[in-house]
Structure 1
Amino acid sequence: MKKIVSNIGWLLLEHGSRLIFALLSTSLLARGLGVEQYGLFQYALNLILVFMSISFICGAEVIVPMLVNASAKRRRLILGNAFYLRLFFSILAYVFLVSFVYISNTREQFYLILILGLILLVSEAFSVVTAWLQSQTNIKPKTILVISTSLIKCLIVALLFFFNVVDPIYYAFAWVFEAGFIAFGLICIYKNISKSNFFYFSKPMFFYLLKKGFPFFIALLLMYSFLRLDVIMLRHFSDLVTLGLYTSANQLLLSIVAVSPILAMSLAPAFVYEKSIINIKRNIIYITIFMVVVSLLIAVIMNYLSPIIIPLLFGHKFNGAIPIFSYFLWVMTLYFINEGLNVYFIRMQLGRMLIFKWLLVLLGALIAYWYFIPLYGAYGAIIGYSIGYSVACIFSVCVMFLDSNKFISAAV
């Protein structure tokens, strides 16, 4: 029990430090590049994250349970094939990314995205070590690595800022360095602890992991596409100033809502791990109500502080982001509700249902963005964002209180 509590503590420390360093880096980046170039840089990062979801083919939810009591030989078999599977899809993702940028109207960002896209080639494949550390309840080495690397990246960005570097490509190398150094560090951690390597290929295991991870992969692909679609659509249907202001408000919001899944999953063990389905549903409603109260409290406080925080973080050039951020804060409640309701899907192991959920969410948001962004710019993106999460919440409630199979049959 002590080991589990310690592991959770290190996880929270990693997430907290990552958020702090990300905000510092983003703040310096915004001040160094200005509104328009900052918006383009964030667009590039969001585009890369969408394509990165292609590499989520064999997630931790698949390989961590397999690694818990695995022998050294079995562990090497699992990790090696998960590594090659992720690496193959990461290379595929990079090819798709470069092709998309080349044929779309973003050629002026071709070299920036070409460099930032290198993150795709190292992030997911080498993170199989993270899954192994999770299976051993020993996340501390990775946490220390991430904190150290995030600090170095932040210092690199600070140096570029203080030397008045305004070319976003130089800043891109800081992000690539972070991903590459973490990948190298994970290999060193594995070799130091296990005294072996995991580079092993087996065709049967490769295709077994592909088949087992595919349903989760589709759900993650759809979810990440929705989460980043607003910035991508805004880039193509609005101006660069609007893009810069929106992405700064969105970045600050993401830092706040990061507490939501941690909060929901912290409450879950005490409330939903029992046999009675009626009690499970009732307790999830209680969790969701609590999440709503927390989100509204955060919204009130941050709405009051936003005229101070945004100029302090991004500079006075980004004051136009304040009203955008204010609208975002009230929509944030839908995000918290969805995280509360997600506990039901996890508890009942409804992985297949998540595919239908995020497909509907993505389609709803896509239509909304297509219609509202040309009319209302950043506020149109917020409307699409709120419609997407409204669909997510409605779908989750329907799954909870209607027969799942009948609901899916009706939806199809």
Structure 2
Amino acid sequence: MAKKLNRDRNTEEAVKVILDNVAETGDEALQTYTEKFDGESVSNFRLEAERIEAAYAAADPKLVESLNVMATRLNAWHEQELPSDIELVEANVTRRQRFVPVDSVGIYVPGGAASYPSTVLMNAIPARVAGVKRIVMVTPITGLTKEVLTAAKIAGVDEIYTVGGAQAIAALTFGTETIQPVDLIVGPGNRFVAEAKRQVYGIVGIDSVAGPSEVVIIADDSAHPDRIAADLLAQAEHDADAVCIAFVPTREMKEAVDAELERRLSQLPREEIARAAMKNGGVIVLPLSEAVNQANRLAPEHLELAVRDPLELAKSIRHAGMIFLGHETPETLGDYVAGTNHVLPTSGTARFASGLSARTFLRSQTMLEANAAGLAELAEAAKTVARVEGLEAHAQAIEVRESL
């Protein structure tokens, strides 16, 4: 949520060294860093198609079915996001705007202890819907699970490289002997991946520099303490740095939520992580109007409105990555199978940024066409402004056409 810029200078410098090394020595640097950070010796980073097919064939049928549900719903949603081209004819001048997909996208999928097939679908499907021709996936060799590869198969991603960390971002940016560079990089990662994306922005595009996961819940007296606690912990188990806050109307509800949190925490497999995250937020007693003010100030990634009339209250929300309306809409639905995208702005950036969409992968191109009559009608105004700005050649570029 809204925080002061607090860059880790050690991380910043370490990432810069990695980026420079990969830019200079390509695959050699990737091999060195893979051995150093992942403890694996890799000579060929491109994953064979047979590995993808084998993983898909070995996947749990229930998972395949669930991922297909997710993919179908994401496709339907992102197709609705595609903008229409524009054409406006006025005063013998035609203005047009069209939307063109980027040529290539790199998707970063985190590795480590967990497996994230949902990350593959959430990033690849809107890119595919937008019309991106080349979609590349990079993931640490430690994250190469059959679940992730199954999601890649479903999303139609077959160019996969077993490289992770800042070095993967460098490879996608500068290219190596094995990996051709891309135009846009998307996907979450640890602080080294996030810092690498920040440093290469401008050479390539990026979706965002993502921070830890966040949820704010605004409750009234109709809310259920057990549901509030469960939804807080659904975010808290992501990361010890996650921020999880519930605004409740009474001391009695706070005590009930706190008790339920403790009961549920003791049963969670990721109890230590979730318990650490809950120290970053907690349950706070506030009147509804003040809770709304605080939510707008925080601009959270996820905002749940656990109130009687959530749609009415949503009219007062200006800043949130995504709003979840009512008691039956847990944030978990948005994470997986609702069909909306779970890649959302964090760290208060919902004040000016939007979540990942098909539009993320599009560029607008504007076109202008004038005939002689249109030029004549606008010439005097154009020359006047050009000469006020001291740009005589601009004015003369109009006049040379008037004299014909």
Confirm or deny a common fold (TM above 0.5): no
Structure with more helix by fraction: 1
The higher radius of gyration belongs to 2
Normalised TM-score (structure 2): 0.24
Structure with more strand by fraction: 2
